[in-house]
Every structure is written in C-alpha cells, then in structure tokens.
Chains A and B, each alone.
Chain A
Amino acid sequence: MSSRYSWGADEHLVVQITEDMSLESNFKAMAMASDLASQQVDGLTDICPANASLLVRFDPDRIAPAEVERIVREAEGRLEGGGPQVLETRIFELPVWYNDPYTNETGARFRDRHQTPDKTDLEFAAQENNLPSVEAFIEAHSGAPWITSMVGFVAGLPFLFQMVPQERQLEVPKYVRPRTDTPKQTIGYGGCFTAIYSVRGAGGYQMFGLTPVPIFDPTQELPDFTDFMFFFRPGDIVKFRRIDEAEYNQIKEQVEAGEYRIRQRPVTFDLAEYEKDPDAYNARLLEVLYGN
C-alpha cells in the first residue's frame, strides 16, 4: 500500500503511511525521520515521526515545497529498497504502581464521564479485553516491552505501542467525555496506546497507575535530564516494572533527593528479527536491559 502525501498549507508536509497502527508503519515513520534528520537539510525545521505517519515542518522561504517533497519521497524510496531495518535506540525501565489510590481517586471523581460508572478504569479495561481479572490485565500490560511510537500532544508525552502480535494487543476505548484532571505521571491508555502524562491536566485516557519517575524536568536539575528536559524520544523501548506502595515511596524519595537514575542501555532494534519470534526477541532485549 502506498503512502499518502498531503500539504498542511505552505509550512507542512504530512505522509500518511497507513491508516491503521502497526509496528511496521511506525518503524517506517521513524526510519524516514532519522534519514531526514541525518541529512540536516536547511529549511526543514521539525521532523516529527508519529504512530503511522510523518509530519515535516519547513520554512518555504528557505526551501521550496516541491524540494521538500522530493527529499521525503527519496527517503521513503531508500527504505523500500529492502535494506536492513534496524533502529539504533535504547531500552529503559519505568517502575509503575498499578491500581494506586491517586489515579483511582481521580477516576472516581469523573465516573459520570466513563463507560462503566460502577467499575474502575482497570476493571473496565480487563473486561474489554476478555481478561478474567485486573491482575491478569496488569500482567499483560507490564509483561512485554513497549516502543515509543510518537512523542507529543503536550511536551514530552510519549505514546507507547506494545511489542506483541496484533491479536495480543490490549484495546480500551477512551473516556466518553474527557476529564478535566489527570495526575502527573499517570500511566494512561486509549485505543491501543499507553500514554504517560508528563504534566498534570485534562485527559481522556483510562488511568491504570502512576510512575514515581518524572519524564519531564523543565529545571533540568535531575541527573537524567541534564542534557534535555524531556526523557522520551521516538523509538525508545520501555519496560514497565510493577512496584508496590513501599517501593513507590522509596523511589519517590530517591527522585526528590536527586539520586534516582533511570536504568537504561543502548540497543539495536531489528524489525525482521523481532517479527520472526517477538517473545524470544523481547526476552533478548530484557537481557540487555538487566544484564550487567
């Protein structure tokens, strides 16, 4: 299926790779973005890979739109040439306190906007996926790793897509009407995506838990943020690790003392190898993360 190119008036080119979400489409968006970024083309101001599309923002006073299209189509053509589909990225761990009282309390305040006012977000999510319990849902959510398929909506907010075959993807509708409040660092879910709320604010995703680890530090005082105020980049692979209240509080104290470091390792992601056997490939990724 061929991509659809469209102009966002005189400053944007949008490439819709596919209408549906898949790891293959996302991989293509990230690979095209990385190819374009490496060329350092004057006048391309923003190169933004999204879940199954690519947005390029340009300054038409510096580069003609036709030239932008030519360069982007060439990048797409190189990918279709059948070269190796690998992504140099990193894998890291985020601890999550699932089913915590803070997001549950927030959810309780907005039950009138939810599909099932008599159930929690997690109970609803388990039911929607034909899973026997909240436990089973959390098991599935924290089992296989996730790839950062897009960063956006607001500053530093990652969209994450789970690295499992489509028949094992968790799917949960968003709230019927959005909430006006979501705690900072909430693990949210909408459609087939996990999102982590980088800031407190409105939101329509189901709420499953909290991470004690900031993913956005505008003061850049925390040790993982000295280079850049946002932690997540497109292509990052993340593994959620389930923690309890005691460990949540312990990590929160370490964060506040400026001592917590996110466990992370560089890794090469190979799409073809992954597709041969996703579970075995994921196990190898986790060995990289948790090996010495």
Chain B
Amino acid sequence: MAIEVIEPGLATSIQDEGRPGYYNVGVPPSGALDLYSAAAANALVGNPSSAAVIESAYMGPKLRFTEPAVVAVTGADIPVLVNGQSAPSWTSLDLKAGDELSFEILAGGARIYIAVSGGIDVPLVLGSRSLYALGAFGGFQGRALQAGDVLPVGVGSGRPGLSVPEALRPQFAKEMDVRIVLGLYDYRLTDEGMSALVDRPWQLSPVADRIGFRYAGNPLQWKEREQPFGAGSDPSNITDAGYPVGSIQVPGGIEPIILHRDAVSGGGYAQVGTVISADMDVVAQSAPGTMAMFVPVTLDQALEARAEARARRAEMMAALS
C-alpha cells in the first residue's frame, strides 16, 4: 500500500506527536502543529494518536492511493474532493485503488491533516517520524513532500463512515484571543512596552510557519540599560538562552514572534511570555491577517485550560470509539 504524491500542496510534511528529549542539542519537538486535529484524523481511521499523518499549510496536496484505504481529512476548513467529487471532512472515507484525493480553496484555518489507516510508515528518527526541516531529517527523506514521491503506509484496520460531531470540530475566526503566561524577560519592557503587548491586537503577518508566527503592530519599548557582558548591544538582546516552545520574542521591539513546534531552540532575543499549551493548536490554525489579542493568564489558569482541552479531546476520542 502506498500513496503517490501528484501535487505536493504547500509545505507538506509528515508529522506525528513529536520528538521530545533532544531539545538540549537543539532539536525541537516538531510534530503536528495542531495536535487536536491530527489526533482526530488518526482516531477517525482507527490509528493510535502516535501514527504519522500528512500536514499541509493553506493548500492541500493531490494524492493517489494505489490500494483501497480508509482516509480522513481534518484541520482547516477546506473542501475535500475524491476523484473530483465533493467528500466530507472530519469523516472517515472509503477510497478505492486508484482514487485521487484533492482539495479546493481554503475557507478558514491554516493547516490540513490527512490520516490514512495504518499511518504513514516512514522511518523513525530519534524516536519520531516527524520532519524537522532545518535539520533535514525525519519525515519523508528529511524534506517536504514533492510531486512524484511515493509514501509507504503501514497496516491498519479503519472503518469508513465515522464522523467527528460538529460541536467537537474547531472554529476558525479572524479575531482571536491567545492566552499567554507573562514572565521570562518581561521585566525588560517599560510599562508602555507591556501595555503595547497586551492592550492592543496584533495582526499575523505572512511570515507564519512551523518555526514561528510573526505579528505586526506597534513597536514595544524596552528599558534602557548598560547591556550585560555577553548580551549583545540592542536592548532586546540577552545572553543567548533556551527558548520555551510557544515563547514570544520581540527582536528590536518591532514584531513579536511566537515560536512553534519546529522552534529554534535558543538564541539572544528576550522573550516576554509564553503561549499556554492549550492555545498552541489555535495559533497553528491562524492564517495571515488574523488579529490576535495576547491575554495574560496565571499558571493555574493555564493548567485549567490544559485540563479542559484534554477533556474535550477525550470526548472527541470517545465519540469515535
């Protein structure tokens, strides 16, 4: 069983739940940016959550299945076609040998997930099948998919006709709140700088990929100081340090960048807060132009939100079992 890539779509890669444990040598967690949608796609086709799926940004691929397969598409709001005929998303589909899966124009969200029963069976690298593009390893041959690639598929036992209830599918809005825990180097901001960070919305720029999401808005002010030895000359510089996944850095005070799952693991820019784990999927599904308010919450509120997200995921999994 294999999948032939006829057209690759945009920034299409193989991703699973990620590669923890190597951040101390600069290897980020990687994995599906929107883990909820990836888990739903896997559950729909009878795979464990750890199975590898196909992730695309904004534009879906065109794929041909060499043998019968149970397939599901989740994530962004995008019309799905099987042999040119409309097919439902968030639903397990019964594809016959030679069937082609393709997509129309994205209507909302940003990232599309395609799961196939048995999972995409590329080799494990450091315990994960996820592509880490900067390191050129993992995924399919250490790179994004190209036309002509043939993806190996494992053995599965999915059944068609399962569907994620409407209420358990994500909603995509052009305005959103992104909850953050302030801290890290936020003491380096002036009061005006802090107010500029959290009191006004930021617009997501087109520079939004698996490494980071860059926003545009008003510049932030940093406290002037004599820079410490080793920290670099700009007030937004620090002695190079590790970057939390989801942390927000503001090089030069101009454009906040949220680091995502293919983050650079460290560097010399001050970070002023971190997106809570429960909102990383929401950031992943935001398209350029989206207006985001960074809403400060406490660590306890972040943990409550995490518990709510887990409960919602458990409800989704239960609905498909």
**Interface pair B242/A53, CB less than 8 Å apart:** yes
A19 & B274 in contact (Cβ 8 Å cutoff) = no
Contact at A155–B25, with CB atoms within 8 Å?
Answer: yes
Is A97's beta carbon under 8 Å from chain B?
no
Q: Which residues of B lie under 8 Å from residue A48 when comparing CB positions?
A: 23-24, 242, 265-266
Query: Given A60-B303, A192-B229, A229-B137, is A154 in contact with B26 using a C-beta cutoff of 8 Å?
Result: yes
Instruction: Give the CA-CA distance A33 to B238 in the complex, in Å.
Output: 21
B218-232 residues with Cβ-Cβ distance < 8 A to A are 228-232
Number of interface residues of B (CB under 8 A): 53
**A16, B21: Cβ atoms closer than 8 Å:** no
Q: Which residue of A lies closest to B265 (CB)?
A: A152
Alpha-carbon gap, A61 to B184, bound state (A): 22
Segment at the interface with A among B113-121, B154-162, B201-209, B243-251: B243-251
Within 99-142 of B, Cβ neighbours of A (below 8 Å) are at: 125-126, 132, 134-137, 142
Given contacts A9-B302, A191-B230, A199-B135, contact A50 B266 (CB under 8 A): yes
Q: Which residues of A contact B22 (CB under 8 A)?
A: 46
Distance (Å) between the CB of B121 and the closest chain A CB? 19
Judge whether B306 is part of the interface by a CB distance below 8 angstroms: yes
- Does B240 sit within 8 A of A, measured CB to CB? yes
A128–chain B nearest beta-carbon distance, Å: 12
By secondary structure, the A interface counts as: loop
Contact with B along A1-33 (1 / 0, CB 8 A): 000001111111010101111100000000001
Residue contact B274 to A193, C-beta cutoff 8 Å: no
**A173 at the A/B interface (Cβ < 8 Å)?**
yes
Q: Is A189 an interface residue (CB 8 A)?
A: no
A-B pair number, CB within 8 angstroms? 188
The answer to whether the Cβ of A134 comes within 8 Å of any Cβ in the partner chain is no
Question: 8 Å CB contacts to B: which residues of A118-159?
Answer: 150-157, 159
Q: How far is the CA of A150 from the CA of B276 in the complex (A)?
A: 26
B231 CB contacts on chain A under 8 angstroms: 19-21, 191
Q: Does B268 contact A (CB under 8 A)?
A: yes
- Closest residue of chain B to A169 (Cβ to Cβ) is B229
A278 to B26, CA, bound (A): 30
Pairwise interchain contact B306-A50, C-beta atoms closer than 8 A:
no
**B250 shortest CB reach to chain A, Å:** 15
Q: Smallest Cβ distance from A239 to chain B, in angstroms?
A: 21
A16 adjacent to B241 (CB under 8 Å): yes
In the complex formed, the residue of B with least CB distance to A230 is B25
A45 CB within 8 Å of chain B: yes
A2 to chain B minimum Cβ distance, whole angstroms, is 14
Residue B3, interface by CB 8 Å: no
For residue B265, give the distance in angstroms from its CB to the closest CB of chain A: 4
Which residue from B134, B142, B245, B306 sits with its C-beta under 8 Å from A57?
B245
A232 at the interface (CB under 8 A from B): yes
Interface residues in B25-40 (C-beta closer than 8 Å to A): 25-27
Chain B residues closer than 8 Å to A173, beta-carbon distance? 232-233
**Counting CB contacts under 8 A, is B181 at the interface?**
yes
Decide: A199 and B241 in contact? CB cutoff 8 A. Answer: no
Answer yes or no: A65 CB below 8 A from chain B CBs. Answer: yes
Known contacts A51-B239, A191-B232: A9-B277 contact under CB 8 Å: yes
User: 8 Å CB contacts to A: which residues of B163-211?
Assistant: 180-181, 183-185
In the assembly, what is the distance between CA of A63 and CA of B132, in Å? 27
A201 CB-CB contact with B under 8 Å: yes
Query: Chain A interface (Cβ within 8 Å of chain B)?
Result: 6-12, 14, 16, 18-22, 33, 45-55, 57, 60-61, 65, 150-157, 159, 166, 169, 173-174, 190-193, 198-199, 201, 216, 218, 229-230, 232-234
Give the 10 A-B CB pairs with smallest separation, nearest first.
Answer: A21-B230, A8-B244, A55-B242, A20-B228, A9-B274, A12-B244, A155-B135, A46-B23, A152-B266, A152-B265
Provide a sorted-by-A list of 9 A–B residue pairs whose CB atoms are within 8 angstroms.
A8-B244, A8-B247, A22-B229, A46-B20, A152-B23, A153-B266, A169-B229, A192-B230, A230-B26
Given contact pairs A19-B228, A150-B242, A191-B230, enumerate 7 new A-B contacts (beta carbons under 8 Å): A14-B183, A21-B229, A46-B22, A156-B25, A191-B231, A192-B230, A193-B230
